[in-house]
Chains A and B, each alone.
Chain A
């Protein structure tokens, strides 16, 4: 545990000693901020239009629900942006050590592969949570000026962190296969995208296959979280997915070591 923590801590230092971390955080904050503004203004506009209409025609105004019409689509939007940005977080996690030869230090120290891989995975996940903080501030604005339901926001973030964890586990696995960070980033993005769109393919598959593809699609399990439903079945899916990613990373590291 102490050694896993040492790896975790070292990874966090790498993140914050390199400009990439700040660029990624800033990029994520700006993009999510712009989308927040767009979603918010179109929501407000729709509300105002409705108010004007209801006054003109003397009808009762429509009921607007911030959770359903703003927060929910915004969580989907965050998930999509994460898909693009997370490969930038995972690309160097393993590749850089291979490239710089620091694996030689790690593999000749009394560390288990679990220490190494888990420490790196947790660092990636923690960094993602830090990335999400600005979006929490945006959400906070809604609570200052409005009165949304709180629970769906919590479930949405839980869903995002679980989904992000799945992307990070996959990205870490890809990063463990190559010493080239660019390849690791592209591969990580490709893998995440594949897992995202696999659900679409289900539409064209036979019924048996469709249910398998639907189950595998990381995004199908996100739906409930975005809607404010916390279902243990989906939590289990993501935990299983992360475990699998971490496990595959450990196996790949081991087999590469063996062949070295």
Chain B
């Protein structure tokens, strides 16, 4: 449904995205995950034909962004990062306008509006002036706007920003339900959101795709990374020479230090609990605790997107 091919976008000298490539199957919900400034919005703006890339191309619903942007726009629902609202209009007036510019046939406009209003949970506020709505409701109006033309492809830039926890759950369920019939790309930096709503994740960092997989697959793939929690009665730099003896240790960090008991978080490529325990004891260091923890998606994300200070 969506093929993204080596998209690159320069702002002046700086590349906002660089060679971004991924695919989305029909009916899939894809999460675009990355820290601030990663290039999520930039990617989405290119896919929605808001602006052209510096190089590369993309095909959406069989149409190329360079050749037939109009056809793409006809099949697209887009919720930008800042919902594009006319704050002086009432909700229905706004949705009517959007329906018209999105070529919803005249006789279908009322039903399109009521269905979008219902899906976005706006029934109570349809006659209110948009400027008087709370941030969460404004976000919902933005979402309703994206759903109006029953689009093949939905592109949602941080759709749950500004919503309260209950609304967040509702919107996530909605997005999940939209998958199947619609093809969805959503961006976020909230990991549980991806775990809950997306069939697949593309992680981008500093403009580059650093990983793509299912949420489970990502967790699996990085299972290679073990995490060992170690508590020892040691002082100062006693532990560091021990850690450096193990090539499997990719990094370690002193989390806590209380009453002479230091708590380390050690990340390794394989399970070395046994060897580590022996080494500690051999050095006459009292071992208080040693256990392994699996990485959450959150940590995998941090792993992939922060430059590691390898010990």
Contact = CB atoms under 8 A, between A and B. Distances in A.
Given A258-B52, A260-B50, A7 B101 contact: yes
B88 A105 contact: no
Secondary structure class of chain A's binding surface, majority of residues: helix
B239 interface: no
Interface residues of B, number: 27
A2 interface: yes
A105 B73 contact: no
Nearest to A96: B86
Contacts of A115: 101
A200 interface: no
A63 interface: no
Contact of B84 (A7, A10, A102, A112): A102
Interface stretch (B75-83, B184-192, B261-269): B75-83
B195 interface: no
Contact of B101 (A18, A111, A258): A111
Contacts of A206: none
Interface string B37-72: 000000001001111100000000000000000100
Interface string A3-31: 10111011001100110000000000000
26 contacts: A2-B100, A3-B100, A3-B103, A6-B97, A6-B100, A6-B101, A7-B101, A10-B86, A17-B88, A17-B89, A18-B88, A100-B86, A100-B87, A105-B84, A105-B145, A107-B49, A108-B76, A108-B78, A109-B98, A109-B102, A110-B73, A110-B102, A258-B51, A258-B52, A260-B50, A260-B51
Interface of A: 2-3, 5-7, 9-10, 13-14, 17-18, 100-112, 115, 257-258, 260
Q: Considering the complex of A and B, which 8 residue pairs feature the smallest CB-CB distances, nearest first?
A: A105-B84, A6-B100, A17-B88, A102-B84, A260-B51, A110-B73, A108-B48, A104-B80
Given A101-B84, A104-B45, A109-B102, 15 more contacts: A3-B100, A5-B100, A6-B97, A13-B89, A13-B93, A14-B88, A100-B86, A104-B80, A105-B84, A105-B145, A108-B80, A109-B98, A111-B101, A115-B101, A257-B50
